Chain A
Amino acid sequence: MKLDHETLSIIVDSELETQDPRKFESIAADQELRSKWARYHLIGDVLRDNLTDVAPAHIADGIRTEIEREPTIFIPQRRRRSWLKPITGLAIAASIASVAVIGVKRSDVDPALSDATVSAIPMQLPDDQIAKVLEEPITVSLDDINPALGTPHTKRRLNGYLVKFNEQRSSFGVPGVNPYVRIVGFESQ
């Protein structure tokens, strides 16, 4: 992209109607345009009485040399889509609400079903054995795993952890967790 001098003059005045990001690349890369950019601004500075007794050229050269030694800045571009904010907030609120609703539902469940029930298929069993196993669901109580897990205090702590897990997972995603797993619980029917 080659800029003509009239366009440069318009850019100096911030009056260019089309916002082509390449325009600054062209100015910075082209020695002639860069010098003209500096002189156009110098003319404005003199007209506004902004020039002191110090000649300008040396300062910019010195700064350019120093900046070359500095590490390059790179920050991710900020999201301009401000409408995402309320939607993200809504998603978090919905996650919390769904966890709360599920929690309430679970408290209504028959106490007999409150122990975890897990069905599993053993990998190396004869066919007749497999059929037998499938007919009999395996029930694992928290007390069987660790009696301490069954106490109300532990349950409260685990619940708190799971609520936090689900809140964070909904907004950021958790590496290693299957995306279709929405809710994780330590009690199941």
Chain B
Amino acid sequence: MSDSYTDKELVERVQQGDKKSFDLLVLKYQNRIVKLVSRYVREPSDAMDVTQESFLKAYRALANFRGDSAFYTWLYRIAINTAKNHIVSLSRRPPEIHLEDPDGEQINTEELQKDIATPENLLLASEIKDTILDAMHELPEDLRVAIILREVDGLTYEEIAEAMDCPIGTVRSRIFRAREAVDSKLKPLLQH
């Protein structure tokens, strides 16, 4: 079974008026789209805006999505086009306004925005990565191998069962237990 099967079901639900299913698609793909957009848009705050705009465009165009390609492929194209349009709009934008502070020194508003947008995010993103990777190292080997074969190598349960020489039920259980172990470390970090 492929990833796109779940996506297809979620897309059909959105097309039948279920907005909440679109939220599940956003939660699933947001990080991949941010990473994609960040290749084109340097500023983290801009990357977030472009990502948000890409998802909104996707939602508005979803009525015309016929499923000829996978949902992610379609979303990917929308995100790239939105990022490229953003770059074009930046080149047309008038030069940055430099405000003068009371001491007569100039303040770059772009820098100001950058400062507001990133430090907390940078720290949180770094903490998330460290927490997950540390939790992975602490996993028993059979759980770690199972989840890596699934998440990194993209193997199906059946393929993992063959590779690890165990029943599919065991694969399901190992992947779930691995996720739960990592999640127990991750959850407190995201609750702040």
Interface residues of A (CB under 8 A from B): 5-6, 9-11, 13-15, 19, 21, 24-25, 27-29, 34-48, 50-60, 62-64, 66-68, 70, 72-75, 77
B153-192 residues with Cβ-Cβ distance < 8 A to A are 156-157, 172-173, 175-176, 179-180, 182-183, 186-187, 190
With A28-B24, A70-B59 already in contact, the answer to whether A55 and B179 are too (CB < 8 A) is: no
Chain B interface residue count, CB cutoff 8 Å, equals 71
**B84 at the binding interface (Cβ < 8 Å):** no
Min distance, Cβ B41 to any Cβ of chain A, angstroms: 11
Which A residue sits closest to B180, measured CB to CB? A5
**B108 at the binding interface (Cβ < 8 Å):** no
Which A residue sits closest to B7, measured CB to CB? A14
Q: Is the CB of A15 within 8 A of B156?
A: yes
Interface residues of B (CB under 8 A from A): 1-6, 9-10, 12-24, 26-28, 30-32, 34-35, 38, 44, 47-48, 51-52, 55-56, 59-60, 62-63, 118, 120-122, 124-126, 128-129, 132-133, 136, 147-148, 150-152, 156-157, 172-173, 175-176, 179-180, 182-183, 186-187, 190
With A63-B52, A63-B55, A63-B56 already in contact, the answer to whether A28 and B23 are too (CB < 8 A) is: yes
Can you report 10 A-B residue pairs in the complex whose CB atoms are below 8 A from each other? A14-B5, A21-B13, A24-B24, A28-B24, A43-B182, A46-B132, A46-B133, A53-B125, A55-B120, A75-B16
Q: Is the CB of A28 within 8 A of B20?
A: yes
Q: Is the CB of B183 within 8 A of A40?
A: yes
Q: Is the CB of B19 within 8 A of A55?
A: no
Which B residue sits closest to A46, measured CB to CB? B132
Q: Is the CB of B51 within 8 A of A51?
A: no
The 8 Å CB contact of B31, one of A13, A34, A42, A77, is A42
**CA gap between A62 and B53 in the complex, in Å:** 10
Inter-chain contacts of B148 with A (CB < 8 A):
47
Inter-chain contacts of A28 with B (CB < 8 A):
18, 20-21, 23-24
**CA gap between A79 and B121 in the complex, in Å:** 46
Which A residue sits closest to B20, measured CB to CB? A28
Across the A-B interface, the 3 shortest Cβ-Cβ residue pairs: A28-B20, A45-B31, A38-B27
